[in-house]
Amino acid sequence: MSDADVTQAAGAALERFLDDTREARLESYKALLRIPSISGIPAHAADCRAAAEFVASDMRAVGMEHVEVSETGGHPVVYADWLHAAGKPTVLVYCHYDVQPADPVELWESPPFEPVVKDGRMLARGASDCKCHVSMHLRAIEALMRTRGGLPVNLKFVIEGEEESSSVHLDAWLVANKERLAADFATISDTGFFEGNLPAITVGLRGLVYFQLDVTGSTIDLHSGGFGGAVDNPINALCAIVADLKGPDGRVRVPGFYDDVVELTPLDREALARLPFDEEKYRKSLGIPALHGEPGYTTLERLGARPTLDLCGIWGGFEGEGPKTIIPAHAHAKISCRLVANQDPEKIFGLVARYIDEVAPKSIRYSIQRLGDGRPSLTPIDGPTTQAAARALKATFGADPLFIREGGSIPVCASFESILGLSTVLLGFAPPDGQFHAPNEWMSMANYETGIRTIARYWDEVSLLAFGQQ
């Protein structure tokens, strides 16, 4: 048989295996989705551990080795490897098993942790972000192992459990495990396709600084007639502070905020402008009367290459039914800044904190609590590993993938570079409108099925690459 015949026979065997195991695959994906592994809610710690154990036993079942539910001080990391492809590249693969909270639960069509397939969509919290990817990687490995008796490359898996709450313990774990994580490059599967569900490879991710601002006045709520006019109101003060942080035009007012931003080159701008993006359709899909953002930039530029400052929540005072005449004792806001290359979360936090100190009225007290951060990242489009992913996507989805900059954050991407010295390919399959972090999160079952074939194909493509120390 020629090489081409061998490849074709291997492809047919893989396809047959995947055909025969469709039901079992769906069941194991659903079983993972049933575990409410919400990393940000302490009461779900046992569920996070249960999800880690579930993934670990699935890893063992498909033939991965050195499988370990590894302690981090927070939710555990699942480590597993298979290192028998002598002379072939070694890839570190990352996904996360944790999910965002399901609130508001009443807006879900069906309960968030009771997965159902409806109209080709898997509906559940974590369906697309990111349990689909955990499941797809496992099923691709299973198919390769069962049809070929091994993998075409060496793989090391890191399946994390704190991604949705800023990966607080992961960097220290990476440092402690640096040696066993040695690889030629990394692949992170936690991203998605472009508008219209067009196959895409993400090459830019934003970073993040997240903090809570607490404003306090009197020790208890005060009568708003008896004291109103004589004392400041923490809610008004909080609103004044947050109104100062960003102008109505969408520009952040914090001095120095934009200083380290890598400006888009004319080539970058052309590449973004060439993406098949229908702004009006996008606006309509969001149900908003107008798009809004920093002047001088297109929507895709604002999303992928410009930083932001946004309130994620604000509360305080009387929120019950009917009137209650008080000057509340305290008010609170949660604020996130999305960052782009080369903004440093530490520095940006310092600038914002200093500015708040400057603008905060002296008639109240305030405190700032930092709730997490992550660095931005940018990867080159023309690297051989990214191109291997592009070929695999084209072979399975039938179209050249687009190269996109994502507005979301995956802080571990920058940590792989800084701690492990690894570049990363961001290969993910979530539909762009999959409602991540929102009610009725869903995954396209077509993307899921084709994605498994893409991953198998990708490992074959990667096996053809040469790396220095092999």
Binding residues (CB under 5 A) for Mn ion: these are 129-130, 190
**Cα–Cα dist 26/345, whole Å:** 40
If one asks whether residue 130 binds ligand BES (CB under 6 A), the answer comes out as: yes
The DSSP bridge partners found for residue 207 are: 339
By beta-carbon proximity to ligand BES, the closer residue of 163 and 449 is: 163
By beta-carbon proximity to Mn ion, the closer residue of 190 and 406 is: 190
Distance of closest approach, residue 99 Cβ to Mn ion, in angstroms: 8
Distance of closest approach, residue 408 Cβ to ligand BES, in angstroms: 3
By beta-carbon proximity to ligand BES, the closer residue of 237 and 402 is: 402
Distance of closest approach, residue 130 Cβ to Mn ion, in angstroms: 4
Look-up of token digits 């888009």: 264
Pick from Mn ion, ligand BES, none: which does 187 bind, CB < 5 to 8 A by kind? none
Encoding tokens for residue 104? 């508001």
Pick from Mn ion, ligand BES, none: which does 166 bind, CB < 5 to 8 A by kind? ligand BES
Q: What's the gap between Cα 328 and its chain centre?
A: 36
Report how many residues bind ligand BES under the rule CB under 6 A. Answer: 17
Residue 1 CB contacts under 8 Å (≥ 6 apart), including other chains: 9
What secondary structure, in 3-state letters, does 76-92 show?
Answer: CEEEEEECCCCCCCEEE
Distance of closest approach, residue 192 Cβ to Mn ion, in angstroms: 9
Pick from Mn ion, ligand BES, none: which does 208 bind, CB < 5 to 8 A by kind? ligand BES
Footprint (CB under 6 A) of ligand BES, residues 167-206? 190-192
Pick from ligand BES, Mn ion, none: which does 316 bind, CB < 5 to 8 A by kind? none
Dihedral sign for Cα 272, 273, 276, 278, please.
positive
By beta-carbon proximity to ligand BES, the closer residue of 234 and 374 is: 374
The amino acid at residue 122 is: M
Distance of closest approach, residue 410 Cβ to ligand BES, in angstroms: 5
**Cα–Cα dist 339/348, whole Å:** 9
**Cα–Cα dist 304/293, whole Å:** 12
Inter-residue contact 170 to 371 (CB < 8 Å): no
Pick from ligand BES, Mn ion, none: which does 194 bind, CB < 5 to 8 A by kind? none
**Cα–Cα dist 440/77, whole Å:** 27
Going by the DSSP 8-state scheme, the letter that residue 177 receives in this structure is T
Footprint (CB under 6 A) of ligand BES, residues 31-60? none
By beta-carbon proximity to ligand BES, the closer residue of 196 and 296 is: 196
Pick from ligand BES, Mn ion, none: which does 199 bind, CB < 5 to 8 A by kind? none
Distance of closest approach, residue 234 Cβ to ligand BES, in angstroms: 27
Distance of closest approach, residue 455 Cβ to Mn ion, in angstroms: 17
By beta carbon distance, the residue nearest ligand BES is 408
Number of other residues whose CB lies within 10 A of the CB of residue 217:
24
**Cα–Cα dist 433/435, whole Å:** 5
Pick from ligand BES, Mn ion, none: which does 126 bind, CB < 5 to 8 A by kind? none
Stretch that binds ligand BES, among 107-115, 158-166, 228-236, 266-274 (CB under 6 A): 158-166
**DSSP code per residue over 323-380:** ---EE-SEEEEEEEEEE-TT--HHHHHHHHHHHHHHHS-TTSEEEEEEEEEE--EE--
Dihedral sign for Cα 280, 282, 286, 292, please.
negative
Footprint (CB under 6 A) of ligand BES, residues 367-426? 372, 374, 406, 408-411
Distance of closest approach, residue 373 Cβ to ligand BES, in angstroms: 8
By beta-carbon proximity to ligand BES, the closer residue of 211 and 366 is: 211
Pick from ligand BES, Mn ion, none: which does 406 bind, CB < 5 to 8 A by kind? ligand BES
The amino acid at residue 191 is: T
Encoding tokens for residue 127? 């369906």
Distance of closest approach, residue 353 Cβ to ligand BES, in angstroms: 19
Among residues 304, 330, 320, 303, the alpha carbon closest in space to that of 219 is found at: 330
Among residues 152, 215, 164, 151, the alpha carbon closest in space to that of 190 is found at: 164
User: Which residues of the chain form contacts with ligand BES (CB under 6 A)?
Assistant: 129-130, 163-164, 166, 190-192, 208, 372, 374, 406, 408-411, 436
